[in-house]
Amino acid sequence: MKLELPKKWIRNLKTLDVAFQPIVNIHTGKIFAVEALLRNYNEVGFSSIFELFDTVYKDNLLYSFDLKLRKKALKKLITIDGQEEIKLFYNLDNRLLDMPNFKHGNTGKLLKHYGIGKNRICFEISERHEISNVSRMQEVLAHYKSEDFCIAIDDFGVGYSGYKLLYDSKPDIIKIDRFFLSDIQKDAKKKLMARSITHLAVQLGIKVIAEGIETKEELLTCRNIGCHFAQGYFIQRPTLLASEIAQEYPHILDILDTKQ
């Protein structure tokens, strides 16, 4: 089926942009990946990303629109210095499979066009708001996992499907939600729960990203409980400029080098 978009959405796509936020190795301070985050949605008349995607979904254009966004993110990814070793984390809407023109292979075509290996893409989906459609979420994860893409569950621990989703979907990576990590060094209960999530993930062969890190103390605590990677304002805020993405972050290296 056709993947063309109406002129209105083609115009919107010209205004919409992709920001990158780095994900770093929590033990070395070196970059592991960037997450693609949609920006400028206010400029095209939407109060939130959710409202924008709801509208595209209602127009039956979600899959076509999402493919254009993937292209935009991949095109920017290859402009990062040293990008050959950097993964791209890309957020999926679990309603993609509802679209009449959804089909296999389009992501592969985009990757081939930009010379990017399949192993460098990680599709992530949030469990935060999925109480009414967990099965659909699992279908999306299963689809991309069957195509050998890296799969990540975002906001882990605050949704309603939690550990069942972990069991059924067998993700490669989970992101622990910021709720558990905010001031974790001061909260014994949060530390216990985050450590429990991390240790279980490690035993299942799943990598863990500490999400929303905003302080040195949060970073060190997450390192000490066994997280593999970190993401958040303390490392770097999302940036529209690919040139601002670094191979390593000296302020993180300095902290990790200390014996704490």
Domain residue ranges of the chain, discontinuous segments joined by +: 7-256
Q: Please indicate whether residue 113 or residue 142 has the higher confidence score (pLDDT).
A: 113
User: Token digits for 229?
Assistant: 């990677």
Model pTM score:
0.93
Q: Which residues contact 190 (CB under 8 A, 6 or more apart)?
A: 180, 181, 182, 183, 184
Contact between residue 181 and residue 210 where contact means Cβ atoms under 8 Å apart: yes
- Over residues 190-207, the mean pLDDT reads 95
Give the separation between CA 152 and CA 88, rounded to whole angstroms: 11
Q: Which two tokens stand for residue 101?
A: 């023109």
- The answer to whether 125 and 90 have CB atoms below 8 angstroms apart is no
* pLDDT single digits (tens) 136-182: 777 888 888 888 999 999 988 776 567 877 888 789 999 999 999 99
Which residues, 6 or more positions from 139, have their beta carbon under 8 angstroms from its beta carbon?
Answer: 94, 97
d(CA 144, CA 107): 10
**CATH fold group of domain 7-256:** TIM Barrel (3.20.20)
> Which tens digits make up the pLDDT trace of 50-75?
999 999 999 999 999 999 999 999 99
What SS3 state is found at 240? coil
pLDDT at 21 over 60: yes
